[in-house]
Amino acid sequence: MVVRTKEFHYNIFGGELKSNKTLRNLFIALTGIVLIGTLGYWLMEGGSLWSAFFTTVIIMLSHWKHGENDSLAEQLMLIFLILGSFLILAYIFRLAADYIMGGEFIETQRRKKMEKKVGNLKDHYIVCGFGRVGKQVCEDLKHADVDFVVIDRDNRETKIAQELGYLIVNEDPTIEESLKMVNISSAKALISCLGQDTDNLFVTLTARSMSPNLYIVARANDDINTSKFEKAGANRVAIPYQIGGYHMATMALRPAVLDFLDVIVDSRHQELEVEEIEIPHNSFMIGKKIQEELSRTRTGVTVLAVNKQDGSSKVNPGGDEIIHGEDKLIIMGNRSQLDKVTELVK
C-alpha cells in the first residue's frame, strides 16, 4: 500500500521558508544579546543571575541606566545593550514596512478571505488540477453559475486562477489534508483532471474514503486504466482523446446534430438547456403520471429520459409513465422553464 504524506512546501508566494528563517535569526540575535548582558552583569556586579537578567531586560526596554559611576566594562555593556536593542527594533520596523509596503499584508488578508469563503462552501464542486483540461472545466462551471473551488500545487497555475477570480487553494490535491481544506465533506462533486493517471487515481481513492457519497469524475489518459478508476470509486471516467475524437468525427458526419447538441449542453446558450432533476421523497408528484404534472403544454419542458434508482433508464418516456421517488428526470427547456419545474418538483 502506498501512502502519500504532506511534506514541507512553499506557500503561494514562496515566502514560508524565508519568513521562518527570518524569525529564527531574529530570535537567535535577541537571545544572544540578552544572554551576553545577563552573564556580563552577573560577573561584573556579583549578584544573582535573576538580578543580572532583570537589569539587562530593563536596559533593553527603557534604553536608560544611570552609569556615570560605573566601571568602564559596565559602561561598555550598557552601550552594547542599548545599541543591540535599537538594531533589533529597527530590523523589526523594516520587516513590518516590507510586509505592508511589499503587498504581503494585502495578500495575507486576501488569502484569509478566500479561506473563509472556501470554508463556508456547501454543495460545491472541487476541481483538482488547473491545467488545460482543468481550465476548461472551470470555465464551464463558471458559466453554469455554480460554486466551485480549484486546488492545484503549481504556483503559476494558481496565480492564473486568482487573476480569473476563482477560489483557489495552492496545495497538493492527492493529500488528504489538502482535500479537507476545500471542505470535501460538504462538496457535491469532485472533478480530478490532473495530468497523470496515478495522481488522479490517488485523488479518487482519497476522496472516496473521505466522502462515500461524493460524486467523482476522474480523467484518464489511457483507457486500460478505466476499470482501475471505477474500482477506486470514480462514478465517471473521462478520456480526453476519446471525447475529442468522437467530437471531431461527429463534426464531419453529422454537423447539424452536433450544433444542436452544443446548444443544449453548453450553459452559455440560454435559449435551450438540459437539466437533471431528482424527485425528492416528499414530492407531491410521486405516483402521478408525467402527462399530469410535466406535460409540455403545462410546463413548456420536454422530458427526455427517466433514470430509475435501480440504474435502468427510459428514453423518451410516454405520458403515462409513473413518477417515483428518487427518479432522475432529464428535461429540456429554456432556463426560466427549468427553474420553474425545479421549484415545482421540490
**Same-domain status, 231 and 290:** no
Q: Which helix (H) or strand (E) holds 191?
A: strand 189-192
**Same-domain status, 159 and 65:** no
- Confidence (pLDDT) at 267: 57
pLDDT higher than threshold 70 for residue 305: yes
Q: How many CB atoms lie within 10 A of CB 189?
A: 19
125-128 and 189-192 strand pairing: parallel
For residue range 79-134, what is the model confidence (pLDDT) as tens digits? 888 888 888 888 877 777 766 665 555 556 666 777 777 878 889 999 999 999 99
For residue range 207-236, what is the model confidence (pLDDT) as tens digits? 999 999 999 999 999 888 899 999 999 999
**Rounded-to-integer distance, Cα 319 and Cα 289, Å:** 6
Residue 279, domain CATH:
3.30.70.1450
CA 293 to chain centroid, in Å, comes to 40
**Rounded-to-integer distance, Cα 117 and Cα 93, Å:** 32
In a domain, 67, yes or no: yes
Of 151, 193, 143, the closest CA to residue 176 belongs to 151
* C-alpha distances in Å from residue 99, one per residue of 94, 96, 103, 157: 8, 5, 7, 24
**Same-domain status, 230 and 294:** no
**Residues facing 321 on adjacent strands:** none
Per-residue DSSP letter, 280: P
Number of structural domains found in the chain: 3
- Above pLDDT 70, what percent of the chain? 85
- Confidence (pLDDT) at 6: 45
**Same-domain status, 199 and 131:** yes
In a domain, 292, yes or no: yes
In a domain, 250, yes or no: no
In a domain, 110, yes or no: no
Section 303-316 average pLDDT: 84
* Number of helices and strands in the chain (H, E): 14, 10
Confidence of residue 198 (pLDDT cuts 50, 70, 90): very high
Residue 81, domain CATH:
1.10.287.70
**Same-domain status, 131 and 188:** yes
In a domain, 113, yes or no: no
Confidence of residue 336 (pLDDT cuts 50, 70, 90): confident
**Same-domain status, 135 and 193:** yes
**Same-domain status, 91 and 130:** no
**Same-domain status, 328 and 280:** yes
Residues 6+ apart with CB under 8 A from 272: 263, 264, 332, 333, 334
**Same-domain status, 136 and 201:** yes
**Same-domain status, 126 and 221:** yes
**Same-domain status, 274 and 208:** no
> What DSSP assignment string belongs to 6-18?
PPP---TTS-HHH
In a domain, 299, yes or no: yes
Section 131-142 average pLDDT: 92
Q: 186 versus 254: which is more confidently predicted?
A: 186
For residue range 317-334, what is the model confidence (pLDDT) as tens digits? 888 888 888 888 888 888
- Confidence (pLDDT) at 130: 94
Expressed as residue numbers, the domain containing 291 is: 270-345
**Same-domain status, 157 and 232:** yes
In a domain, 5, yes or no: no
